[in-house]
């Protein structure tokens, strides 16, 4: 299959590219390198079936040209900075909503019939149903990130209905693993390397979140698209468990061999729009035969080890 | 209250403006006149508390300047051409989603704390729950119009959470009444005036829809904002009934005194993305004391009489 991967130089995107290449597919990768990293594509670039195009989703002619001849789009490019959404409210709209519209228009122009999309469990807002199924009650959005991803989902659904495309929408929990380069494990490891005696934690440490190991995430996406039918399918992707921020801190500190004094900023939310409890019902994707291999603890520990082995990632950002 | 009304020259917007002025409020109206009509503002323009600003939602500096000093925004401007969405897929994104983002940014720049937003029952897509409550299962979008309105809702919700605004989101069924100027009653009356002997109907005539009379719609909006609490509230607006397209045709023909031969294009949907059954549960807004005064039949008949008294509306569009 000739695959087009947006956000190909990102944490999840580059992992998907490697897996697609290993599976014998041809891949064109598209990235603006705003947060993507060339280092993540080192193996891909050496592969004869990979071609890299540098470009922004907002550069529609370039996007359309790059996509020519593709059979399926994996649309992973996004502004994923959930926490700082309210500091730059246009960024989510531009990169996530308008960007997705441009991807769909480029697909229409090129006659590409299939798309897989990385959405987020954040679209459930502060749901009251746990674990949360895909058909949970109509949510209220609490972050610009969630709002922009919901808008992307809705656009894909309308294009599938209107133009006969096939869409697979994946609502991810937070993803962990090799090449992980932003989020709470990153922040904690970076902080503890600077000063192992203390750790500042946003919120009260009781927030409960679910995490999925990146290779399990990619396996789930590939399982779903290999078992595809129906114009639009929506899948939660996560594990059947959750942990508290304090659990995660415990595993990180154990792995690093440190015992910091913990300072909590307080409150049940880490930041405005933070969702204090995320736990998704993943029975729909499990019914296709997929199951995760790593636990949340495995994911945290592999992430810590990866960051320790790749200190350049921790050092390049303050 | 100093009110800012986008889409002030439209069917619903101009009716709201008249009601706000009658209620003693000051109103700044904003419209690009792409589908709005000066004739609808004749009385408003003569009122000392009304000021009209011609401008597009995409002209953000103009929008921001026009909104200065307002206390509440009624955001009604939209591309409302649901049926032709797939002929110009960018229009819904630009006018409805990006337009709403610009309204919210202008509110933020001006410190305007409250917004009322005209969304649509179309955001429920092809739900299986009737009558459909506001917390129906997480929907799948079937039209670009619904997708763009859902994106607008989501943006408003995220701004309310992130910036402490108050939002009231109204999911309208189709609205009927004086100044109605597009939709199935319009098309049928226009067609029957040209040729009363035959009528072409999209679909098989069995589509079931709910309609609300425009003055009842405005009363509901005003009731909700007068009984406001909570950062984000979502209300369905409709009547506790529905009719078939064939019912509606019967009332129209009776009122016009014609007996056309009906030609059905066939199929349960009138067009791609048409939702064959819309019927909303409006108990949430009814709990605030509102109830509609007009039945669907009343609304259809008043619309027909209005169009007969205002043939210029029927004639200006082919």
Question: In A7-42, which positions are buried (b, 16+ CB within 10 angstroms) versus exposed (e)?
Answer: bbbbbbbbbbbbbbbeeebbbbbbbbeebbbeebbe
Residue of A nearest to B96 (CA): A151
A285 within domain boundaries: no
User: pLDDT digits over B172-199, tens only?
Assistant: 999 999 999 988 999 999 999 999 999 9
Give CA separation, A226 vs A1, A72, A219, A229, in Å. 12, 12, 10, 9
Give the pLDDT of chain A (318 residues) as one tens digit per residue.
999 999 999 999 999 999 999 999 999 999 999 999 999 999 999 999 999 999 999 999 999 999 999 999 999 999 988 777 788 889 999 999 999 999 999 999 999 999 999 999 999 999 999 999 999 999 999 999 999 999 999 999 999 999 999 999 999 999 999 999 988 999 999 999 999 999 999 999 999 999 999 999 999 999 999 997 789 999 999 999 999 999 999 999 999 999 999 999 998 888 877 888 999 999 999 999 999 999 999 999 999 999 999 999 988 754
**Residue B307, min C-alpha distance to chain A (Å):** 32
Residues A263 and A150 in one domain: no
Residues B68 and B171 in one domain: yes
B285 within domain boundaries: no
Give CA separation, A44 vs A29, A50, A72, A301, B136, in Å. 9, 6, 18, 26, 44
Pair of tokens at residue A292: 């995760």
Residues A189 and A164 in one domain: no
Q: Domain of A271?
A: 177-209+241-277+293-315
Which of A84, A123, A161 to mutate to test binding with chain B, by most B CBs within 10 Å of its CB? A161
Q: What is chain B's length?
A: 318
pLDDT at B318 over 70: no
Residues A87 and A12 in one domain: yes
Q: How many helices (H) and strands (E) does chain B have?
A: 12, 13
Start-to-end CA distance of chain A, whole Å, equals: 40
Report the candidate in A143, A165, A157, A213 with the shortest Cα–Cα distance to residue A185. A213
A158 within domain boundaries: yes
* Residue among A140, A143, A161 whose CB faces B273 most closely: A161
Residues A232 and A269 in one domain: no
**Degrees to nearest 5, angle at CA A256 with A202 and A279:** 45
* Residue among B140, B148, B158 whose CB faces A141 most closely: B158
- Beta strand pairing status for A232-237 and A166-172? parallel
**Residue A313, min C-alpha distance to chain B (Å):** 30
| Residues of B with Cβ-Cβ distance to A90 under 8 angstroms | 101, 105
| Residues of B with Cβ-Cβ distance to A99 under 8 angstroms | none
Residues A217 and A259 in one domain: no
Using an 8 Å CB-CB cutoff, list residues of chain B that contact chain A.
Answer: 85-86, 89-90, 93, 97-98, 101, 104-105, 108, 124-125, 134-144, 146-148, 150-151, 153-155, 157-159, 161-163, 232, 234, 272-273
pLDDT value, residue A318: 45
B286 within domain boundaries: no
**Residue B126, min C-alpha distance to chain A (Å):** 11
Confidence of residue B317 (pLDDT cuts 50, 70, 90): low
DSSP per residue, B108-162: HHHT--EEEEEEEGGGG-S-S-SSBPTT-B-----SHHHHHHHHHHHHHHHHHHH
Residues A131 and A191 in one domain: no
**Region B54-71: what's the mean pLDDT?**
98
B267 within domain boundaries: yes
Q: CATH number of the domain that A74 lies in?
A: 3.40.50.720
* Residue among A97, A135, A232 whose CB faces B137 most closely: A135
Residues B87 and B104 in one domain: yes
A78 within domain boundaries: yes
Tally the domains of chain B.
2
Residues B88 and B22 in one domain: yes
Predicted ipTM of the assembly: 0.95
Residues B114 and B202 in one domain: no
Are B199 and B263 in contact by the 8 Å Cβ rule? The answer is yes
Peptide bond into B131 cis (omega under 30): yes
Are A92 and B162 in contact by the 8 Å Cβ rule? The answer is no
**Residue B74, min C-alpha distance to chain A (Å):** 20
Q: CATH number of the domain that A183 lies in?
A: 3.90.25.10
| Residues of B with Cβ-Cβ distance to A159 under 8 angstroms | 89, 144
pLDDT value, residue A239: 97
pLDDT at B213 over 90: yes
B287 within domain boundaries: no
In percent, the amount of chain B with pLDDT more than 90 equals 90
A287 within domain boundaries: no
User: pLDDT digits over B124-148, tens only?
Assistant: 999 999 999 999 999 999 999 999 9
Residues A227 and A246 in one domain: no
In percent, the amount of chain B with pLDDT more than 70 equals 99
Which of A81, A141, A143, A156 to mutate to test binding with chain B, by most B CBs within 10 Å of its CB? A141
Residues A31 and A104 in one domain: yes
């Amino acid at each position: 299959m000739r695959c087009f991967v947006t956000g190909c130089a990102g944490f999840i995107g580059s992992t998907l590219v490697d897996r697609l290449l290993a599976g014998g597919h041809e891949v064109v990768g598209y990235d603006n390198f705003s947060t993507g990293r060339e280092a993540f594509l080192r193996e891909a670039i050496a592969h004869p079936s990979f071609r890299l195009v540098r470009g922004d989703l907002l550069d529609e002619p370039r996007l359309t040209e790059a996509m020519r001849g593709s059979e399926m789009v994996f649309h992973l490019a996004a502004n994923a900075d959930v926490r700082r959404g309210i500091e730059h409210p246009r960024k989510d709209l531009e990169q996530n909503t308008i960007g997705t519209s441009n991807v769909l228009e480029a697909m229409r122009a090129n006659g590409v019939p299939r798309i897989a999309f990385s959405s987020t469990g954040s679209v459930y807002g502060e749901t009251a149903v746990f674990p949360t199924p895909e058909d949970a009650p109509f949510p209220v959005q609490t972050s610009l990130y969630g709002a922009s991803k919901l808008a992307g989902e809705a656009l894909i659904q309308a294009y599938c209905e209107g133009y006969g495309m096939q869409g697979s929408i994946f609502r991810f929990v937070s993803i962990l693993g090799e090449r992980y380069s932003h989020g709470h494990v990153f922040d904690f490891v970076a902080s503890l390397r600077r000063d192992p005696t203390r750790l500042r934690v946003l919120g009260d440490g009781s927030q409960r979140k679910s995490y999925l190991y990146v290779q399990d995430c990619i396996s789930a996406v590939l399982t779903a698209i290999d078992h595809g039918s129906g114009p639009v399918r929506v899948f939660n992707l996560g594990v059947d468990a959750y942990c508290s921020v304090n659990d995660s801190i415990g595993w990180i500190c154990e792995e690093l061999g440190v015992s910091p004094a913990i300072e909590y900023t307080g409150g049940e939310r880490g930041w405005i729009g933070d969702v204090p409890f995320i736990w998704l019902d993943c029975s729909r994707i499990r019914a296709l035969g997929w199951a995760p291999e790593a636990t949340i603890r495995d994911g945290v520990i592999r992430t810590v080890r990866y960051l320790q082995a790749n200190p350049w990632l921790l050092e390049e950002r303050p």
